[in-house]
A = this chain, B = another copy of it.
Amino acid sequence: MIGGSLAAALRQADAVGRFTGFDRDRERGARAQTLGIVDDLAVDPSDAVAGADLVILAVPVRANQMVCAAIAETLAPSALVTDVGSTKFEVVAAAEAELPDASRFCGAHPLAGSERSGPDAANRDLFRGRLCILTPTARTAAATLAACQALWQAVGARVICMDAARHDAALAWVSHLPHAVAFALAAAVGAVADEVSGLSGGGFADTTRVAASDVTMWRDVFLANRAGLLAALDGLGDELAALRRAVHDGDAAAIETLIGRANAGRRRVMG
């Protein structure tokens, strides 16, 4: 979805020439070609990047290391390499370790997307008005950063730069934790599905929307940001324990306080 959306958006912006795609899943690759998202299909990552000016890695975050190693030999020295992963510290470290010229890589995370995945979910307007976080390091060339900024601005994103570790610590709270919570909630309610089927409304639908997300993508996000996610899970655990205690004790004032803090917290986070 993200890779396809970026390809479609760059084409729409007339910012690229010919696109070569590679997907581990051949059917998905063929579908992207049928939809006109990519012009050509490569047989492997190494073949895909041969002669490319720009390489976009749009794979589950833990696959980036393998892909970077696989493309290192055929990558043109002048090629710009970037990614779209939801975690950054491990991805950036892997790319800088595996690619022949770390100065030509810059990590990127567009805050866009949904629970959907695959080329049929691609949307060339996906990044319009959305934030894209770049995570350059001391090794990133200024020209690489500038090119990466121009790329995301061309598809309508607002670009900011951030340290990769800080990115992961922050996104653990506002993205990885909500996904973890939605997964746990959907799994817990799913266990009593026979008793509640047909009785759910908008609250359940929205609170668990992201629980329909891709297994491999989110398995990798959780594994690549273990410390950040564990800290966020513990913060949530404290709130849930306090709420459970208040409900158990019939403590109206404590429940009101927690809901009031939730109202205010959501407003502060969403700005």
Q: Hey, which bits of chain A sit against chain B, CB under 8 A?
A: 111-114, 130-131, 133, 169-171, 173-175, 177-193, 195-213, 215-216, 218-219, 222-223, 226, 229-230, 232-233, 235-240, 243-244, 246-248, 250, 252, 255-256, 258-271
Which of B169, B174, B193, B237 touches A265 (beta carbons < 8 Å)? B193
Q: A183-B262, A255-B223, A265-B191 are in contact. Are A270 and B200 (CB under 8 A)?
A: yes
Q: How many copies does the complex hold?
A: 2
Q: A187-B258, A265-B193 are in contact. Are A270 and B204 (CB under 8 A)?
A: yes
A171 partner residues in chain B, CB cutoff 8 A? 199
Judge whether A185 and B190 touch: CB under 8 Å. no
Interface CB pairs A-B, < 8 A, 30:
A130-B201, A173-B188, A173-B192, A173-B195, A174-B201, A174-B204, A175-B201, A177-B185, A178-B185, A178-B207, A179-B203, A180-B243, A181-B185, A182-B207, A186-B262, A186-B265, A186-B266, A188-B232, A188-B238, A190-B261, A190-B269, A193-B269, A197-B268, A206-B209, A208-B262, A211-B266, A212-B266, A212-B267, A233-B243, A233-B244
